[in-house]
C-alpha cells in the first residue's frame, strides 16, 4: 500500500473538495491501495473510522423496506466490554497475519491480544496486560499493532512511544524503537 501525504484533487467533478473541507480540522491519513482506491483513516476522541473509496463508484438503489441477513462472524471479543481474555475494551488497531490470526491493540486494557484462526472463545495476551504504565513490561493506551515477520515481533504504537515486542515464548518486556512521539 502506497502512502501519500496530500489529498489529490479531482478536477473533473471536484468531488474531493467537500472531503478536504471535512478533514481540515480532523486527524486523518489517506492511503492508496494497489487498485488506486483510497482509504481514509479518521480519528476523533475515542473512535476511529476507516473508509475505502473506490476509483469508480457504483450507486445501488436499495429499497427502504429491504431486509438484511447477517453474514458476519465474530472472530474476537463479542462478550461485552471488559478485561477478560474473551473481551475487549475500546479496541483500536488490528492486524491479520498470514495464518489469519487477528492481533488487536486493546486500548483501555493496555495490552495486545490475539485470536488464532478458528478459536473465537478466548484470546491470548501477547504484550502488556500488566496494568497501565511505561515500564518495559507494560503498555499505555496502545493504538496500533503490526507484525514484523523478519524479527518475529510486534511493532506497537502506544502512549508516547513505538515499541518492539518479541513474539517468542517467554518474552515479558519490550524494546523502545521511538520515544517521545504522539501515537
Residue 101, pLDDT above cutoff 70: yes
Averaged pLDDT, 148-160:
92
Domain boundaries, the chain: 2-53, 91-179
Helix (H) / strand (E) containing 173: none
CA distances from residue 150 to 42, 69, 165, 167, 175 in whole angstroms, order as listed:
30, 41, 13, 11, 16
- What band does 10 get if pLDDT is binned at 50, 70 and 90? very low
More confident residue, 22 or 80: 80
Name the architecture of domain 91-179: Beta Barrel (2.40)
* 176-155-99 Cα angle (round to 5): 155
139 touches 160 (CB < 8 A): no
More confident residue, 150 or 39: 150
Amino acid at each position: 500500500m502506497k502512502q501519500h501525504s496530500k489529498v489529490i484533487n479531482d478536477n473533473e467533478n471536484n468531488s474531493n473538495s467537500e472531503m478536504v473541507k471535512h478533514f481540515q480540522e480532523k486527524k486523518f491519513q489517506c492511503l492508496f491501495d494497489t487498485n488506486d482506491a483510497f482509504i481514509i483513516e479518521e480519528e476523533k476522541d475515542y473512535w476511529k473510522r476507516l473508509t475505502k473509496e473506490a476509483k469508480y463508484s457504483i450507486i445501488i438503489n436499495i429499497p427502504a423496506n429491504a431486509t438484511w441477513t447477517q453474514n458476519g462472524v465474530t472472530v474476537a471479543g463479542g462478550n461485552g466490554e471488559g478485561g477478560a481474555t474473551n473481551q475487549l475494551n475500546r479496541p483500536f488497531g488490528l492486524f491479520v497475519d498470514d495464518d489469519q490470526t487477528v492481533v488487536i491493540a486493546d486500548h483501555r486494557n493496555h495490552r495486545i491480544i490475539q485470536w488464532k484462526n478458528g478459536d473465537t472463545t478466548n484470546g491470548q495476551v501477547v504484550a502488556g496486560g500488566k496494568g497501565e504504565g511505561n515500564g518495559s513490561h507494560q503498555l499505555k493506551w496502545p493504538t496500533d499493532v503490526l507484525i514484523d515477520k523478519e524479527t518475529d515481533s510486534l511493532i506497537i504504537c502506544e502512549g508516547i512511544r513505538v515499541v518492539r515486542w518479541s513474539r517468542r515464548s517467554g518474552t515479558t518486556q519490550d524494546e523502545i524503537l521511538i520515544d517521545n512521539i504522539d501515537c
